[in-house]
Amino acid sequence: MELQSAKTETLKEGAGQRRHEEEEGGGQRRHEEGGGGGGRQKAPMKRRQEEERVSPPKKLVIDHSGKVASHYNSLQEVGLAVRSQSRIFFMRNFNNWLKSVLIGEILDQVRGSGSPKVSVLDLGCGKGGDLLKWRRGGINHLVCADIAGVSVDQCQSRYEDMKKKSQINEKLFSAQFINADCSKEVLSEKLDDPELLFDICSCQFVYHYSFESEQKADMMLRNACERLKPGGYFIGTTPDAFELVKRLEASDSLSFGNEVFKVSFQSKGFYPLFGCQYHFSLEDVVDVPESLVYFPLFEHMAKRYNMRLVVKQRFSEFFEEKVKKENHRSLMMKMMALQPFPCEDGGRQATDSRGEYDHAEEHCVRAGVQLPLGTLSRSEWEAASIYLVFIFQKMS
Ligand SMILES: C[S@@+](CC[C@H](N)C(=O)[O-])C[C@H]1O[C@@H](n2cnc3c(N)ncnc32)[C@H](O)[C@@H]1O
C-alpha cells in the first residue's frame, strides 16, 4: 500500500515510534511478569519477549469521540455582551476574520471558474459560527454536519432565525443539518439529495480530532472530498504539529502555554503518526484531547481522493499576506480582529498582566508608527500562531 512508506516516518525520527511502542509493550510485559509472581524470567516468557521485539505489540486505539462530543455539547451559547468580556475576545475575532478572508477568497475562485450555484459542506460546523460568512458569500446550499447534537440543533435554529429575519428580496441558501461522527460515518449516505456535489468543503478547527487513528482520519477525509466537484476545494484550519512539537521540545516539562491556553502531552521525543494525543485547553472555550496532524501524511492521504495541496500557511504568514489588501484590512477593523493599543477612551485592554503588550510598544518605537496600532496580547498571539490554513483542490 502506498501509505506504508509514509508510515515509517515520524515527526522527529523514524525510530521514535518503534521505541514508543516498545516502551508500551514493555509496560504490558512488566504487568504480566507481576501476575506470574516470579522475579526470574522463565524461558517461554523470554521467547515471547523476543517475538514481541520482532513484531511490536498492537497499540491500544483510544477513542475520544464521546468526550469531544460531550465537551462541545456542554458549551453554553453566550451573547455579544458576555463574549466581549472574554479574555480572548480579540483572538476569537481574529480567527473569525481569518476564516472570513479564507472563505471569501475561495468563493471568488469558485465563482471565477463559472460555477452557477454554489454548494458547501461545513464539516464540524459547531453552533454555526460560519453561517453569516456563507450568507455574505451568497451561496445556494449548505450542509452542516457535526458530532455534537446540541451544537447541530443550535446551528439549525440560528439558521431558521436568519431565514425568518432575512429580507423579502433576499434568497437565503437552503440547508441540511446532520448530526454524525464524520470520522466514522459516511456522510453521503445521509444527504437529502443523494446526487449532491459540493464546490467547497470547509473544515474549521476540526480535522485534528480525526487523527486519533488512520481509519478515522481517512473517513473524515473521505467525507470532505468524495462529493467535491472536480476543481472543488477542501479548506480548513488546524494546529501545526511542527509548531506544537517545537514548543514542547523547548519546554522543560511536558506542557507549555500561558494565561489563555495550555497544551499537555504525556511524553516527548516520540511522536506516532496517528493517535499522538495532547490535551488542549483554551480559556472557557476548549478543554479536550486532540491529536497531532503530521501534515506531510495528511497531504499524502489526500492524494487518494485526487486532492492536491494548493496552500499551506501558518496563521502568521496568512495574516501578513492578506492584511496588505485594503478590503481585508477594513474587514479586520469591522470585525474588531485586533485590539487598539494603547486602548482608546472607554476601551478595554484584554489583560493587565505584565509584558503582554511589550511587543506593541517596541514596534511603535522601532517602526515609528502612529498610535493607536492594532495588536493582540502576547498570550493570545501565542495561542493563535499555533494554527495553519490549508487549501486542497480536487483534480479533474
Ligand atoms: C473548535 S470547534 C469548531 C466549530 C466550527 N467549525 C467553527 O469554526 O466555529 C470543533 C468542532 O468539531 C466538531 N467535531 C469534532 N470531532 C468531530 C467528528 N468526528 N465529526 C464531526 N464533528 C466533529 C466538534 O463537535 C466541534 O463542534
How far does residue 125's CA lie from ligand 1's centre (Å)? Answer: 6
Residue 384 to residues 52, 84, 235, 381: CA-CA distances in angstroms?
Answer: 42, 18, 18, 5
**Whether residue 346 is found in the same domain as residue 232:** no
Residue 274 maps to a domain? no
pLDDT range class, residue 164, cuts 50, 70, 90: very high
179 annotated as belonging to a binding site for a ligand = no
Nearest CA to ligand 1 atom 16: 209
Residue 332 maps to a domain? no
Q: What is the pLDDT of residues 264-304, one digit of tens each?
A: 999 999 999 999 999 999 987 889 999 999 999 999 999 99
pLDDT at 327 over 70: yes
The H or E element spanning position 388 is strand 387-394
**Whether residue 222 is found in the same domain as residue 100:** yes
Torsion of CA 177, 182, 188, 192, to 10 degrees: -10
Domain of 205, CATH number, reads: 3.40.50.150
Which residues contact ligand 1 via a Cβ below 6 A?
65, 68-69, 72, 124-126, 129, 146-148, 151, 181-183, 204-206, 209-210
Residue 74 maps to a domain? no
CB 16 within 8 A of CB 270: yes
Share of the chain above pLDDT 70, in %: 84
- Give the mutation target among 206, 237, 277 for probing the ligand 1 site: most ligand atoms within 8 A of CB: 206
Q: What is the pLDDT of residues 344-364, one digit of tens each?
A: 766 667 777 878 888 887 887
**Whether residue 232 is found in the same domain as residue 344:** no
- How much is the pLDDT for 240? 98
> 342 preceded by cis ω (within 30°)?
yes
CB 192 within 8 A of CB 176: yes
Number of structural domains, the chain? 2
- How much is the pLDDT for 346? 63
**Whether residue 215 is found in the same domain as residue 344:** no
**Whether residue 158 is found in the same domain as residue 107:** yes
Q: Name the pTM for this structure.
A: 0.85
Nearest CA to ligand 1 atom 1: 205
**Whether residue 92 is found in the same domain as residue 233:** yes
pLDDT at 25 over 70: no
**Whether residue 110 is found in the same domain as residue 154:** yes
Torsion of CA 300, 306, 307, 308, to 10 degrees: 80
- Measured from the CA of 95, which atom of ligand 1 is nearest? 8
Q: Which residue has the higher pLDDT, 181 or 341?
A: 181
- How much is the pLDDT for 6? 35
- How much is the pLDDT for 99? 98
**Whether residue 140 is found in the same domain as residue 193:** yes
How far does residue 94's CA lie from ligand 1's centre (Å)? Answer: 19
Paired sense of beta strands 387-394 and 228-239, if any: antiparallel
Q: What is the pLDDT of residues 235-275, one digit of tens each?
A: 999 999 999 999 999 999 999 999 999 999 999 999 999 99
End-to-end, the C-alpha distance of the chain in Å comes to: 23
pLDDT at 151 over 90: yes
Nearest CA to ligand 1 atom 27: 126
- How much is the pLDDT for 262? 97
**Whether residue 305 is found in the same domain as residue 357:** no
**Whether residue 302 is found in the same domain as residue 343:** no
Q: Which residue has the higher pLDDT, 84 or 317?
A: 317
Rounded CA separation 52/44 (Å): 12
Residue 150 maps to a domain? yes
Cα-atom radius of gyration of the chain, to the nearest Å? 23
pLDDT at 19 over 50: no
Residue 225 maps to a domain? yes
Residue 299 maps to a domain? yes
Q: What is the pLDDT of residues 44-74, one digit of tens each?
A: 445 455 544 444 445 566 788 999 999 999 8
Residue 151 maps to a domain? yes
- Give the mutation target among 64, 67, 72 for probing the ligand 1 site: most ligand atoms within 8 A of CB: 72
The dihedrals phi and psi of 230, each to the nearest 5 degrees, come to -55, 135
CB neighbour list of residue 173: distance below 8 Å, 6 or more residues apart: 134, 135, 139, 140, 141, 142
**Whether residue 301 is found in the same domain as residue 371:** no
The residue written with cell numbers 514481541 in the block is: 52
Range of the domain at 219: 88-238+291-321+387-394
Residue 94 maps to a domain? yes
**Whether residue 317 is found in the same domain as residue 346:** no
Q: What is the mean pLDDT of residues 317-321?
A: 97
Q: Which residue has the higher pLDDT, 114 or 328?
A: 328
